[in-house]
Chains A and B, each alone.
Chain A
């Protein structure tokens, strides 16, 4: 039994200790190696916890840059049978700006419960300016510089910037903390292999490490601006102690170095700019090279059009060739060779054309002009490539029509082959003349048709006459007919009377003595009835008619009263 207990007592002890730890209150604290630091001076911030599980979340280190860490460590201690556990997370920081800043609490979560550390306050003061030319203090392990190819440029003129570190001690883990973001420039990182060399700087021998190269093309006048370059590295420094073999003991210390943007003045391009300004800036040449100027019909000419010199080759384009006459022009081959150095951007861009003759004769390779800004003279310059005459010979080709005004006179062409000749003259019709308004007459006809259609819309209605006028007209007609002994006169008179009676409300079939007397009165009714009867009788028995004159007078008298 004792054996069994002795066999498992370590297990029991562990369980008891573990339960004791769990029972401990969880603590999370933050501490800083320094509360007052200089700019670019590294310091450490450590978060400690006595809890075993859970994840520690660091705060957002606003105003600071993490240059090292996080380094984690944990420790278990048993003192007088009492066991303690601690875990630490350490960050190495560098301040970005002067002032007093707070580092917020770190957080820690265990079994759903959240713990927070204390807040740290750090005062940041101005750091020590470090210049390569100045004698560095003994504590400085390395410095960094940005070297500019030029101190004064025009807008569009390229600058090459070289990022260089001077290492006075053994340095490892060099990292760029903050890249300089240049303002109002076109920036390009250039292919570059790190190079190092040994140089004397002040009284010390240092290693110069060129680690980055950039092409900057400013697009606004002013001064080159942007944020500083910051790099960090671990510097090997003696501890002041020696080991068993009497060798000095060393330690690695994190350091940060800052380089300011070089002071480069950017001058504006003079105004007004020429209309034909290509945008090229630098010390440049436009060159046109011809492999030959006289060829046979079965040969070709190679033409190279090249811009060379120092300038903004990244944005320059070779001007388009004005095609020569009488040649087929094939798609050009493009060649370029550009070198970026501290002295600027040098090289060339070139189009290589192949010209194949199509006719025999003399042809013009046209004049070309190209305008750029010469940074050496500070003026716009126009390069003119003069017209060149190209001679093409050979039997296989036709002669073409063109000649230059200043070149040899036009050759009279003989068109001798009948099959390939032009057709003969045509017979001219001298009567054909060109009218200024050939279709004017047609528009007149069209206008008449439009009028015809308008006429269709208009109808002719005679003006309505008044009843009195109608009555007078009827009376006049009857009198005229009666006096001319018109056979229709009786009928007209009868119809007129019957029409007048209808207007008085007596229908034709109701005409009778009694009705007439009732409507027209006894006298007029009786006279009217008598005249109607006479007229009816005369209509059916023309020979029985009495005095025509008398009837007409009676009609005229009654007509006024009806």
Chain B
């Protein structure tokens, strides 16, 4: 299985190197469909879309990659490169507080590593508690309590650092924003491909999106994609 996946990845890379970006994209996306959850894979898909000139999709995949690997310099560079070419110069949308904290934590350790450290501390606390109960009643409660507390904090850190995002990106050519979730309503904004916002709420085929400049409007969900969950085409 692993060998097959490696072969697919290598083939996609070779196609990309030959300028066959559409074929490379298809192969990379097939890996994502099979459950491979590697930020490098998302980054590669973003690169394919960039080469294809589909900047909305490209931004979407770069955002996904950064969500799992916030310090990846190549992804940061490519996203910056892309932003200078997007038509709408919108400021990035503000993250929700917990998402922002999670992003900061992921920049330090991956959620798995946070979980590993937390697990070790909690396991140590558990061993000490068992010893104290059944073998060494004289053992102080302070040490297991300290380990338990630290383990709990790190457990929460691990939980918060699990990637979450309410960011949405315009993947269609243009998207009109309306004052109400109704195509006959008043148009109040026009966004171009690659613009991003924060999804506030949804209503049958409509996204209510808060933009980075403070404006909010209803957009047809056909023109937008969520950064999470990851649904390859």
**Do A and B form a real pair?**
yes
Task: Please list the residues of chain A having a beta carbon within 8 angstroms of any beta carbon in chain B.
Answer: 275-276, 320, 322-326, 358-359, 363-364, 366-369, 398-405, 410-413, 415, 420-434, 438-439, 441-443, 445-446, 448-449, 452-453, 455-456
Q: Enumerate chain B interface residues (CB-CB to A < 8 A).
A: 2, 5-6, 9, 13, 16, 28, 31, 35-38, 40-41, 43-44, 47, 50-53, 55-56, 72, 74, 77-78, 81-82, 84-89, 111-112, 115, 118-119, 122-123, 125-126, 129-130, 132-133, 141, 144, 148, 151-152, 155, 158-159, 162, 172-174, 176, 179-180, 185-190, 192-194, 230
Which residue in A275, A359, A405, A431 is a CB contact (below 8 Å) of B2? A431
**A425 pairs with B51, CB closer than 8 A:** no
- Please name all residues of chain A whose beta carbon is closer than 8 Å to the beta carbon of B36 when the two chains form the complex: 428-430, 432-433
With both beta carbons as reference points, the residue of chain B lying nearest to A439 in the complex is identified as B115
Residues of A within 8 A of B2 (CB): 430-431
Residue pair A364, B152 in contact (C-beta under 8 Å)? no
CA distance A226 to B155 in the complex (A): 75
Q: Please tell me if the beta carbons of A452 and B85 are within 8 angstroms of each other in the complex.
A: no
User: B81, A420: Cβ atoms under 8 Å?
Assistant: yes
Q: A428 touches which one: B40, B78, B189 (CB < 8 A)?
A: B40
Q: Is the CB of A433 within 8 A of B35?
A: yes
A401-B86, A423-B77 are known contacts. Are A439 and B155 too (CB-CB below 8 A)?
Answer: yes
B176 touches A366 (CB 8 A): yes
- CA separation between A422 and B46, bound complex, in Å? 10
Residues of A with C-beta under 8 A to B9: 428, 430
Residues A445 and B38 in contact, CB atoms below 8 Å apart:
no
Closest to B159 in A: A439
Distance in Å: Cβ of B124 to nearest Cβ of chain A: 9
What is the minimal beta-carbon distance from B155 to any residue of chain A, in angstroms? 6
> Do residues B194 and A434 form an inter-chain contact, with CB atoms below 8 A?
no
Closest-by-CB residue of B relative to A443 is B155
Closest Cβ neighbor of B88 among chain A residues: A325
A323, A434, A442: which contacts B35 (Cβ < 8 A)? A434
Q: Can you report 14 residue pairs joining A to B where beta carbons are below 8 Å apart? A: A276-B179, A325-B174, A401-B56, A404-B173, A410-B173, A422-B78, A430-B6, A433-B36, A433-B37, A438-B112, A439-B111, A439-B158, A448-B122, A449-B122
Contacts A325-B87, A423-B47 aside, 20 further interface pairs with beta carbons under 8 A come to A275-B179, A322-B189, A323-B189, A325-B192, A358-B87, A369-B186, A422-B82, A423-B74, A425-B16, A425-B44, A426-B40, A426-B44, A426-B74, A428-B38, A433-B35, A438-B115, A439-B159, A448-B122, A452-B125, A456-B132
Cβ of A430 to closest chain B Cβ, rounded Å = 4
Chain B residue nearest in CB terms to A432: B38
- In the bound complex, how far is the Cα of B159 from the Cα of A289, in angstroms? 56
Would you give the shortest CB distance from A312 to chain B, in whole angstroms?
20
Residues of A close to B44: CB separation below 8 A: 425-426, 428
Shortest Cβ distance from A26 into chain B, in angstroms?
79
Given known A442-B118, A449-B122, A452-B126, contact A401–B16 (CB-CB < 8 A): no
Q: Closest A-chain residue to B38, C-beta based? A: A432
Task: Assess the B187–A401 pair: CB atoms within 8 A.
Answer: no
Asked if B89 contacts A358 (CB within 8 A), the reply is yes
Q: Whose C-beta in chain A lies nearest to the C-beta of B152?
A: A446
Q: Which residues of B contact A400 (CB under 8 A)?
A: 85-87, 192
